[in-house]
Amino acid sequence: MANHKSALKRIRQNEARKLHNRYYAKTMRNAVRKFKRITDKSEAEAQLPKLTAMIDKLAKRRIIHKNKAGNLKSKIAKYMNSLS
């Protein structure tokens, strides 16, 4: 157990941030899954900018790694281009 008040506060802060980050990471993963279920190209083109913005924002805030963000954006763009 922590010996200082500041260490106890740090534990509380870390737990709150972990829950916050997990929520947004899970939301992003669900959005990517939902995007990959789209079969209409025009709908995918409309959703792509919103999804890439979400991914970029999470990478900027270091919730996901910037390389993971790039890989995800590449995969969803590739999927959109494969639709006919």
Q: What is the CATH number of the domain that holds 68?
A: 1.20.58.110
Residue 23: CB atoms within 10 Å: 11
Per the structure, the complete domain to which residue 30 belongs is given by 5-82
Residue 55: CB atoms within 10 Å: 21
Residues 68-79: what's their mean pLDDT? 98
d(CA 82, CA 78): 6
- Quote the number of domains for the chain: 1
Q: pTM for the full model?
A: 0.87
Q: Which two tokens stand for residue 6?
A: 């500041």
Give the per-residue pLDDT at 1. Answer: 74
Give the per-residue pLDDT at 63. Answer: 96
Residues 6-24: what's their mean pLDDT? 96
Residue 64: CB atoms within 10 Å: 21
Cβ–Cβ under 8 Å, residues 77 and 41: no
